[in-house]
Structure 1
Amino acid sequence: MAASISSLPSMTDGPFLTDGGLETTLVFHDGIDLPCFAAFPLLRDEKGRGRIERYYEPYIRMALARRIGFLLDTPTWRANRDWGARLGYSPEDLEVVNREVVRWARSMSELYATPDTPIVVNGVIGPRGDGYRPGSLMSPDQAQDYHAAQVSAFRDAGADMASAMTINYAEEAIGIVRAAGSAGLPIAVSFTVETDGSLATGDSLADAIRRVDDATHGGPAYYMINCAHPDHFEDALGTDGSWIRRVGGIRANASTKSHAELDESLELDIGDPADLGRRYRALRDRMGHLRVLGGCCGTDHRHIAAICEACLP
């Protein structure tokens, strides 16, 4: 059963919890090889599916203990055409995969959801290129055409919403939002920033959000920031502007290292979970509209527990 519209993060003032860094947990803690950093192939067999389910369970139980909503992200960050091709998946294969993953997430939702803890099935869309480097840039029309297949698969399989994660330039975000609008699927956009709080293109977070909102008539349900440490974007969120109220969630990295440094790291930097929790609390005290709280690279259940203790005691 799909979550009701009134249960989506964009339609409620209550907090929503989500998970930490799925891929970094699998690679560095579990020793699982993830070619192209893609987790979705694990769901194709029973053993891999069991590992993914065990990964999500502690996060879901934290939400259940606090009687708050949970945003269940599908592990489909790499399940688009270019990355799929590198992994040996055809466009037709990927359509099947994206539908199957949403149905799996729906089964998890039905298993754990309660009246106090709605579990929203969130189809995750990753960037066409590298999340840290823009590479070859698309126009909004090209991005819409490129991402439409994954968006449609999510809709057809019954996802409650979708989120574009680790997006590093506005044109790709505009195209994804337009694809979601055409499909009638609620969409959130999560930008990643460099250590100076700006996108890799040099655009400020404020400018990127304004550009997407202007081009899509305020299409995203909300915006997020992911795959950067709060130390990198706290100052950017301390400025004035109505755009700040459009930022509805944070999924920060554990490490204060730059993207370039993380790319070269052979060991996982888990940072300081307690400090990360305090930084989330400071952001939430300043931005009471922050609803979605989770983690990204390097974070695990310890970091999310610290965030809960700091923000949702």
Structure 2
Amino acid sequence: MPALPQLAGRPVVTDGGLETDLIYHHGADLPEFAAFPLLADDHGRDLLRAYYAGYVDIARRAGAALQLDTPTWRASADHGARVGYDAAALRGANRAAVGLLHEVRAGAGLETVLISGCVGPRGDGYVAGERVDPDEAAAYHAPQIEAFAEAGADLVTALTLTGAGEAIGVVRAARAAGLPVAVSFTVEVDGRLPDGTGLGDAITAVDAAGSPDYFMVNCAHPTHIAPALGDGPWRDRIVGLRANASTRSHEELDAATELDEGDPTALAHAHDALRPHLPNLSLLGGCCGTDARHVAALWGV
């Protein structure tokens, strides 16, 4: 398993808003916003390969390492059941997702390509819901994370988490599976998590219960993240950002019927404004509404 270059401060490109890119730019049908069923046929796998190829090119032009997330944000039990996948089928899909990225890595021609097993929230990434018990969260996420480990993923990244309890559970499940783990929270327009917790308080709580390797923030525009970045050593723990293209709130995005792609150059400038507050920021990619154009702008290529 390769070391994580982002922990040594090396620049690392990661990918963008896979689901919104495939739906709005490539006509993909993703029921329940689930991309993992694309792995079931040649056309779907070709769509995914083409998507990842754009980020391989960006990393090459930027002279950076690359980290690619599996298309498995919805490939856990509750979400999988809604699209007809039982436990055995989900395990196979999660393993196949890692396998596809092994193929991408083999053909990339880059010195460092990390394969990140992507975990999403059990509930809605925009709505906090009831407070999550960490042990229940660990048990829920364990089968997916174990499948990543079996298939040879390099780490686990949990994206769009809305509270500390689920984050603690994901960390426990990843540690039990022997994988490094990154926790990524989302925030509202005021910089607070959907459950009302301050970003610094959430990071501090998760670290106190068992530290992940690093933290990220995703699925929010940089202008929404900025209010969260008050003083405190916890800011040193944020290594990655995957921001939305749009300045709209989660509620507005949920109600939207068309893609808000924002402006790639404006997004890059908004990222630049955050850098003085995030001394260890080294991993950059995108989230909803972004594609390779936005990520290329972040990297100046």
TM class by shorter chain equals: over 0.9
Q: Is the 8 A contact 1:40 1:75 kept in 2?
A: yes
Whole-angstrom CA distance in 2 between matches of 1:229 and 1:23: 17
Q: How does 1:49-128 map to 2 (within 5 A)?
A: 49-115=45-111, 118-128=112-122
Q: How does 1:250-289 map to 2 (within 5 A)?
A: 250-289=241-280
Q: Is the 8 A contact 2:219 2:244 kept in 1?
A: yes
For 1:128, what is the secondary structure of its paired residue?
coil
Please, what is the CA RMSD of the aligned residues? 1.2
**How much has 1:33 moved relative to structure 2?**
1.5
Q: Is 1:231–2:227 an aligned residue pair? A: no
For 1:257, what is the secondary structure of its paired residue?
coil
Q: Tell me the equivalent position of 1:32.
A: 28
**How much has 1:111 moved relative to structure 2?**
1.1
Q: Is 1:245–2:218 an aligned residue pair? A: no
Deviations 1:131-175 (A, max 9, x none): 001224320010010001111110111000010000001100000
**How much has 1:234 moved relative to structure 2?**
0.8
Q: Is 1:157–2:151 an aligned residue pair? A: yes
Deviations 1:30-73 (A, max 9, x none): 22221000111111111110011111111110101222111110
Q: Tell me the equivalent position of 2:41.
A: 45
**How much has 1:10 moved relative to structure 2?**
4.3
Deviations 1:257-285 (A, max 9, x none): 01010000001111121111012122224
Deviations 1:110-137 (A, max 9, x none): 111423xx10000000000110012243
For 2:252, what is the secondary structure of its paired residue?
helix
The amino acid that maps onto 2:248 is K
Deviations 1:165-216 (A, max 9, x none): 0000110000000111111100000000111100111100001000000011
Whole-angstrom CA distance in 1 between matches of 2:44 and 2:139: 31
Structure 1 stretches lacking a partner, 5+ long: none
Whole-angstrom CA distance in 2 between matches of 1:113 and 1:280: 28
**How much has 1:286 moved relative to structure 2?**
3.9
For 2:208, what is the secondary structure of its paired residue?
helix
Whole-angstrom CA distance in 2 between matches of 1:192 and 1:279: 17
Q: Tell me the equivalent position of 1:308.
A: 299
Q: Tell me the equivalent position of 1:168.
A: 162
Aligned length: 301
Whole-angstrom CA distance in 2 between matches of 1:287 and 1:83: 34
Q: 1:134 to 1:235 in 2, by over 3 A?
A: closer
**Which range moved further: 27-36 or 240-249?**
27-36
Q: Tell me the equivalent position of 1:213.
A: 207
For 1:234, what is the secondary structure of its paired residue?
helix
**How much has 1:306 moved relative to structure 2?**
1.1
Q: Is the 8 A contact 1:113 1:119 kept in 2?
A: no
Q: Is the 8 A contact 2:7 2:239 kept in 1?
A: no
Whole-angstrom CA distance in 2 between matches of 1:52 and 1:92: 22
**How much has 1:288 moved relative to structure 2?**
3.2
Q: Tell me the equivalent position of 2:140.
A: 146
What is the percentage of aligned positions where both structures have the same residue? Answer: 51
For 1:248, what is the secondary structure of its paired residue?
strand
Q: Tell me the equivalent position of 1:297.
A: 288
**How much has 1:9 moved relative to structure 2?**
3.6
